[in-house]
Structure 1
Amino acid sequence: MLERGVHILQSFRPTGQPQSLSAIARRTDLPKSTTHRIVEVLAGQGLLERTGEGWVLGRALFELGELVPIKRRLRETALPFMEDLYEATHETVHLAVRDDLDVLYAEKIRGHSGVDMPSRVGGRLPLSSTGVGKTLLAFSPASLVEEVVSRPLRRLTEHSISDPAVLQDELATIRAAGVGYDREEAALGVSCVAAPVLVRGEPVAALSVSVPSGQLQPARLAPAVRTAALALSRALSR
């Protein structure tokens, strides 16, 4: 029952949009009667709510989510540095962490450019197709890099890296420079500069600034992102 309940909650990924009971049953491959019974139990605990458009994730999940350590300690510590970075660039700023072979976005401050981006708080994208993801990967153990390159690299655009050798070369460049780049690899028309947040040498997070590709200015953005990441690293180390 518990496993099926979690499966139902996860069926709302990645958008969290309302779903009908039939849609939930279809996405979870559960009988409709079983789905109905579990949905009613979840609703009774506030984990799901019924709206005019269908079932949605409940407020109890929001309350629990606010208690997750990544949301509290990391986000609360990072926000002042993200705000400083935003004030310096007026572009979209991201805070991200690694979750298995994905990057998970923990916070986002939207910039003035209004460019469409696939990132959202709580959303995830492949490590190899994002600036924050490649930066996290570059400073991770070699065993993780081997695991990533041993599998087909997921592509989000035609600019995403698909050759493991090319990815490994770029990771070496990121380690040497202390910053990484995404040049339309996650979304067409969008580029970013990212830097790792290191605590005792371990990459616990990454910060980035995303801009329209035509406005990518590494000489201006890279020092700002690197400075913010170093300052956050010192704050977390304390």
Structure 2
Amino acid sequence: MSSQVFEEASADSSDDEEYPNSVLGKAHLLFGAFESGAVRLRLTELSRRSGVPKASAYRLAQELVQWGLLERSGDSYQLGMRMFELGQRVPVSAVLRRVARPLLTDLFAATRATIHLAVLDGAHVLYVEKVAGEANIHTHSRVGGRLPAACTATGKVLLATCADGEERLRGLAATGWPRLTPRTVGTLDELRRQLTVIRDRGYAVEKEEILLGFSSIAVPVMGVEGAVIASVSVTVPLSRLVERKLLPDLHATAAAISRAVGRRAAEPGR
């Protein structure tokens, strides 16, 4: 262990018990430190982002390294391959991604747009899959990344159709959401009006709320019991947003994903 890492681990030992008492709670906070897109974090930054005191963060990180959930890279930490292996076994990844990937690739070929498949995760959308060509412009998104549901087309569709939508809106009212551009929806009343329109017409449109000059359109993906399980979207320059041209391919792709998920769910042993 480098002297710097040792010093960082020892500096705040008196604060050791101030954050969650459970080991699982602290581990959850450490993993959450990587959610902003950071690939590698030194101990000081890992502690700062997670809120776990350095001494606790160091001891727990060492144990997570032994289990392969974290890896050491010089004097920094990164998520381990074991996390990737386990992630592939989560149903939304193991089934939804597997059946959707070829269909999303076809949608990309038809539209030459950036394609996203997302699920709702609290007040955010979690991107399960993304297909983009060399001219990928939607740099704010990545597989496994999150963006505020209130200002994304995928998120608006999911908020408009989820069973606990009103509860989630009350949570948004309490916490708010970042305004990523001047066009980002700014108030809960405005968001409610948008969600009403989305429920009526069955799809969502976002214009420059995430990235100036670009727009997205999203439709829901239905599960085997009729509930919405995900949303699929295309992101294009604002000048290319022609709903009547994009919606048929989007709806066809969403329906094909729904059928594929249904077939997988009906397979013996599932």
TM over 0.5: same fold? yes
> In the alignment, which residue of structure 1 is the partner of 2:255?
230
Match of 2:200 in 1: 176
- Partner of 2:170 in structure 1? 147
Read off the aligned partner of 1:20 and give its amino acid letter. R
- The structure 1 residue matched to 2:102, chosen from 77, 80, 86, is 80
**Range 27-36 or range 99-108, more displaced:** 27-36
Q: Tell me, which stretches of 5 or more residues in structure 2 are unaligned?
A: 1-22, 264-270
Is the CA contact 1:65–1:71 (under 8 Å) kept in the aligned structure 2? yes
Amino acid at match of 1:150: A
Which has the higher mean CA deviation after the structures are superposed, 73-82 or 52-61? 52-61
**Within 1, Cα distance between the matches of 2:198 and 2:51?**
42
> Higher mean Cα deviation, 142-151 or 44-53?
142-151
Q: Which residue of 2 aligns with 1:62?
A: 84
- Structure 1: give runs of 5+ residues left out of the alignment: none
- Deviation larger for 208-217 or 228-237: 228-237
Matched to 2:36, the amino acid is P
CA positional deviation for 1:82? 0.8
Look up the SS of the partner of 1:206 in the other structure: strand
Instruction: Using the TM superposition, give the Cα deviation of residue 32 of structure 1 relative to its aligned residue in structure 2, in angstroms.
Output: 2.8
1:156-171 equivalence runs, <5 A: 156-171=180-195
Aligned mates of 2:130, 2:216 — CA distance in 1 = 13
In 2, Cα distance between the equivalents of 1:116 and 1:216? Answer: 15
Amino acid at match of 1:237: G
CA RMSD after TM alignment: 2.0
Indicate conservation of the 8 Å contact 1:128/1:154, yes or no: no
Task: Report which stretch shifted further, 137-146 or 7-16.
Answer: 137-146
Rate the CA distance shift 1:187–1:58 in 2: closer, same or farther, 3 A: same
CA contact (8 A) 2:29 2:51 kept: no
Corresponding residue SS for 2:162: coil
CA offsets 1:56-89 (integer angstroms, 9 cap, x no match): 1111111111111111111111112212211111
Give me the TM-score of the superposition, normalised by structure 2: 0.81
Deviation string, structure 1 residues 88-107 (Cα, Å, up to 9, x no partner): 11211100001122111000
2:214 aligned with 1:190, yes or no?
yes
- Report what 1:38 is aligned to: 60
Most deviating of 113-122 and 137-146: 137-146
Task: State the alpha-carbon separation in 2 of the partners of residues 111 and 186 from structure 1.
Answer: 19
> CA separation in 2, counterparts of 1:116 and 1:75?
20
Alignment of 1:2 with 2:24, yes or no, is: yes
SS at match of 1:150: helix
The answer to which of 40-49 and 17-26 deviates more is: 17-26
SS in 2 for 1:191: strand
Q: Distance in 2 between matches of 1:192 and 1:198?
A: 20
Residue of structure 1 in register with 2:36 after alignment: 14
Structure-2 residue corresponding to 1:213? 238
Counterparts of 1:55 and 1:92 in 2: how far apart (Å)? 31
Change in 2 beyond 3 A, CA 1:22/1:149: closer
Percent identity of equivalent pairs: 37
